């Protein structure tokens, strides 16, 4: 298939929907990609499935899983004289314990929205009398771009550029969910992450946990075909990792991007909002690049804080609840007034449920 219309062919989608009704077993399938969460609700995929097949939104939105301590740390850094905070746009509205980057910007902090780490580095080049901190966020999809930027800063001896990292990797959280006994029969594995990592990073899931995995694209036919592939696996004894998104993903992934990421970063234990600390799930700069590590350079104090108890974002990210289970959803909490991180980003489960709620 060459053109976008072919990936949105109504007849193909309807035929797959009919085939799925041949299976009567109760099936729970989790997607762990914010892009998939958005696409599933945008295209009304749940309405095309039989009642026995349930889709669960997991921790796939980078903004949603960024710990509240990270936001508080960034806010405190923004209060330092001569500091410029550079960030992707959706992170600016994520609530911390007492404030947000958006509120601090309105109070005079120099906080700028950028589209890439390289754009943040260019600000550091042009504003040599300022200290520029880039908020590194995202999974294996965005980490290579940050790594390239750190390499450039190192090679050019740029001394006023820093990284505050909350980059995370996907396999540890998927395993944490399985160890937490969340009811999952199959994973819709992330498409963009897998273009970098390849599908091999998920091999341990069917081998160790006997859970089916399919790496998936983002169009209606992609999603429906992947659900059908998972249903066939789940109703057999052969659980494995399959690639539906073969036009973009291969088993070995992007070796060059992996090498760059591994050159700059090493894993560390990291906090996931609403989930807790997961061993070896985050990325920090290696010793060679520690002079760019904002956590080491800037001595800011952040008190230990708890999540807003009225918000169930953590339970939603763990697949235990849906946004509709939250008393705040659509009432107190909306995209215009987000109480929790899951309502902020377009890829957040609450945002997707809210935006496309009339499709359900």
330 pLDDT exceeds 80? Answer: yes
Structure tokens, 318: 């763990």
211 pLDDT exceeds 90? Answer: yes
pLDDT for the residue 359: 53
Nearest of 9, 136, 127 to residue 62 by alpha carbon:
136
Please write the tens of the pLDDT for every residue from 146-181: 999 999 999 999 999 999 999 999 999 999 999 988
Measured between alpha carbons, how far is 11 from 35 in angstroms, rounded to an integer? 24
Residues 73-90 have a mean pLDDT of 95
Measured between alpha carbons, how far is 202 from 123 in angstroms, rounded to an integer? 38
pTM of the model: 0.92
Nearest of 115, 83, 118, 117 to residue 101 by alpha carbon:
83
pLDDT for the residue 302: 79
1 pLDDT exceeds 60? Answer: no
Long-range contacts of 108-113 (CB under 8 A, 24+ apart): 109/78, 109/79, 109/85, 110/78, 110/83, 110/84, 110/85, 111/78, 111/84, 111/85, 111/86, 111/87, 112/84, 112/85, 112/86, 112/87, 113/86, 113/87, 113/88, 113/89
pLDDT for the residue 17: 96
Confidence label for 308 from pLDDT (cuts 50, 70 and 90): confident
H helix runs in the chain, sequence order = 10-20, 34-42, 62-65, 68-78, 101-106, 117-126, 143-155, 170-179, 191-197, 204, 220-234, 255-264, 294-297, 313-317, 349-355
Please write the tens of the pLDDT for every residue from 89-127: 989 998 888 889 999 999 999 999 999 999 999 999 999
Measured between alpha carbons, how far is 245 from 243 in angstroms, rounded to an integer? 5
Residues 224-249 have a mean pLDDT of 96
Confidence label for 3 from pLDDT (cuts 50, 70 and 90): low
Mean pLDDT score of the chain, rounded to an integer? 93
Confidence label for 358 from pLDDT (cuts 50, 70 and 90): low
Residues 22-46 have a mean pLDDT of 95
pLDDT for the residue 360: 54
pLDDT for the residue 97: 85
Measured between alpha carbons, how far is 64 from 348 in angstroms, rounded to an integer? 6
Q: What is the set of domains in the chain, with CATH numbers?
A: 4-58+178-240 (3.40.50.11750), 63-169+254-297 (3.40.50.11740), 313-359 (no CATH)
Residues 174-196 have a mean pLDDT of 95
Nearest of 58, 56, 138, 124 to residue 90 by alpha carbon:
138
Please write the tens of the pLDDT for every residue from 282-302: 999 999 999 999 999 998 887
Contact 244, 232 (CB under 8 A): no
pLDDT for the residue 227: 98
pLDDT for the residue 328: 93
Confidence label for 6 from pLDDT (cuts 50, 70 and 90): confident
pLDDT for the residue 257: 97
Question: How large is the C-alpha radius of gyration of the chain?
Answer: 21
Cα→Cα distances 63→19, 120, 135, 138, Å: 36, 19, 11, 8
Measured between alpha carbons, how far is 31 from 36 in angstroms, rounded to an integer? 7
Residues 78-97 have a mean pLDDT of 93
Confidence label for 182 from pLDDT (cuts 50, 70 and 90): confident
pLDDT for the residue 237: 87
Confidence label for 2 from pLDDT (cuts 50, 70 and 90): low
Structure tokens, 39: 């696409």
Please write the tens of the pLDDT for every residue from 243-283: 999 999 999 999 999 999 999 999 999 999 888 999 999 99
């Amino acid at each position: 298939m060459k053109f976008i219309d072919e990936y949105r062919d109504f007849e193909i989608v309807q035929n797959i929907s009919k085939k799925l009704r041949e299976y009567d077993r109760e099936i729970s399938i989790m997607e762990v990609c914010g892009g998939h969460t958005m696409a599933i609700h945008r295209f009304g995929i749940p309405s095309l499935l039989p009642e026995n097949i349930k889709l669960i939104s997991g921790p796939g939105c980078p903004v949603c899983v960024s710990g509240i301590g990270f936001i508080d740390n960034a806010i405190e850094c923004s209060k330092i004289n001569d500091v410029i905070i550079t960030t992707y746009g959706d992170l600016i509205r994520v609530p911390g314990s007492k404030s947000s980057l958006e509120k601090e910007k309105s109070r005079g902090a120099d906080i700028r929205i950028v589209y890439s780490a390289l754009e943040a580095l260019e600000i550091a080049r042009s504003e040599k009398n300022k200290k520029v901190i880039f908020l590194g966020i995202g999974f294996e999809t965005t980490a290579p771009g940050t790594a390239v930027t750190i390499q450039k800063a190192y090679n050019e001896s740029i001394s006023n550029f820093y990284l505050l990292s909350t980059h995370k990797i996907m396999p540890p959280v998927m395993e944490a969910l399985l160890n937490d006994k969340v009811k999952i029969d199959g994973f819709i594995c992330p498409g963009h992450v897998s273009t970098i990592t390849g599908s091999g990073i998920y091999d341990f899931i069917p081998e160790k946990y006997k859970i089916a995995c399919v790496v998936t694209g983002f169009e209606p036919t992609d999603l429906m075909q992947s659900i059908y592939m998972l249903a066939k696996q789940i109703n057999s004894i052969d659980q494995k990792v399959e690639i539906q998104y073969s036009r973009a993903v291969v088993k070995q992934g992007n070796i060059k991007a992996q090498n760059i990421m591994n050159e700059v970063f090493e894993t560390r234990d990291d906090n996931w909002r609403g989930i807790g600390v997961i061993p070896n799930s985050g990325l920090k700069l290696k010793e060679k690049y520690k002079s760019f590590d904002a956590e080491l350079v800037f001595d800011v104090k952040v008190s230990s804080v708890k999540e807003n108890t009225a918000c169930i974002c953590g339970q939603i990210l763990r697949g235990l609840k849906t946004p509709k289970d939250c008393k705040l959803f659509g009432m107190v909490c909306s995209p215009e007034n987000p109480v929790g991180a899951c309502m902020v980003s377009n890829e957040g489960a609450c945002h997707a449920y809210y935006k496309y709620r009339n499709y359900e």
